[in-house]
Structures are given as structure tokens and as C-alpha cells.
Amino acid sequence: MSGVAIVDYGINNVRSVRNAVEYCGFDPVVTHDAGAIADASHVILPGVGAFGDAMTNIRARGIDELLERYVREKGKPFLAVCLGMQLLAKTSEEHANDGVLHSGLGWFDADVLRLMPNDPALKIPHMGWNMVAKERSHPILANIREGNLAFYFVHSFAMHCKAPKDVVGYAQHGQQVTAIIARDNIAATQFHPEKSQDSGIDLMSNFLRWNP
């Protein structure tokens, strides 16, 4: 096992995630190579940019098939970040052309919708620090006190899960924002743990030591 594979699909923020993984004491590899992902003990899917562009790159490089094989079938511990989390949904309305939604990986029964806060004073994108309220416990939150669940968000769209049991935590931004989801060996955060200082490093470290 080579340790940690950070999936590179060409437009994601691999540098900050790599720095966070290294800070946690691991030696990651940034890759879209099947062999490297096969050898890794843990897989991270970062994300930044637009949903449609990301899925186009993922499919063009065959990364969707690699993740299906090594994460869904073989059960490698997996963490998706920000747009990476949204890509696990069935559809997204981000930049949908003539109402035709983008298709995601479809791992969760969820859709990605534009944020619509009920307070007009709240800005979009939702950018900055926000508290996360736990719906349930999860190993990636182990030993993080509830008062320390503050993380850094940057997004204009958010996942709406149809299965409440998939949701680990919510934030509030004039509406309920799905902040953490998890099922089996898969976890994902709407926020950026790699930019969330101590709380983010604690979450990342928990993930890297997680053996579901």
C-alpha cells in the first residue's frame, strides 16, 4: 500500500489537500493512475470549480470507473471534499443548459441545488467559517468537541439528500446546508477540511486512520 491517493482530474485543488495530508504525517500521491489508486489504502477526491466540467474530466479520464471499482466495490476508505462531495449526487442544476441537469456519480440519492437562503442579507457564495451541527456520530469526527466543529465553506450549491440517514451534519446559511455525509466506507464534506485549521486537520487525521 502506498498510503493516500489524491485523485487528480485536472481542475481540482490538489495542492492544499496534499499539504494537509502531509501535515498529518502521510506521504500522498496525486494521481489518476489506476495502479496508484489500487495500491492506496485511502482515497481523497478534492473539488473546486463547476460540476459539469468536473464530471466531463472525470469521465474522460476513466476516473468514474476507477472509483467505482476501488471505492464502491473494494471498499477503500474514501473522502470527497466540497465539489467532490457534490459529484457523489445523482444530478446537479449548476449551469444546467435549458433545464437539463448534469449527471453525477449517483452514489447517494441526492440532488445538488442552488443555495436559496431565506435571509436576503446573506450572500452567495456561502464563504467563510460556519459551525456544523452533528446529526449523528462518525469516526471522522472522533475526538472533535462539538464546540470546535467550525469549518471553512466556499460554495453556491449544496447537496439535498433524500435519505436522512446519510447525513452526518448540517450547517445553517439562511437554510439548512448539508455539510457532512457518510455511508459505509464513504465520507464527504461540503466544507474544506484542508483550509479549516485545527478542526480540519483533526478531521483529516481521523479519516486517514479510519478503517471501516
Model confidence over 158-183: pLDDT tens digits?
A: 999 999 999 999 999 999 999 999 99
DSSP 193: G
CB-side exposure of 99: number of CA atoms within 13 Å? 0
pLDDT < 70 regions, the chain: 1-2, 12
Q: For residue 98, what pLDDT is reported? A: 73
CB of 89 closer than 8 Å to CB of 108: yes
Q: What pLDDT is recorded for position 2? A: 54
User: For residue 191, what pLDDT is reported?
Assistant: 97
Q: Mean pLDDT across the chain, nearest whole number?
A: 95
**Active-site amino acid positions:** 82, 192, 194
- Model pTM score: 0.96
Q: Reduce the DSSP state of residue 85 to 3 states and report it.
A: helix
Q: Is the Cβ–Cβ distance between 92 and 51 less than 8 Å? A: yes
Type of residue found at 194: E
Give the pLDDT confidence score for residue 96 in this predicted structure.
Answer: 80
Residue with cell 496534499: 18
Contacts of 63 (CB under 8 A, 6+ apart): 7, 9, 32, 57
Residues in the chain: 212
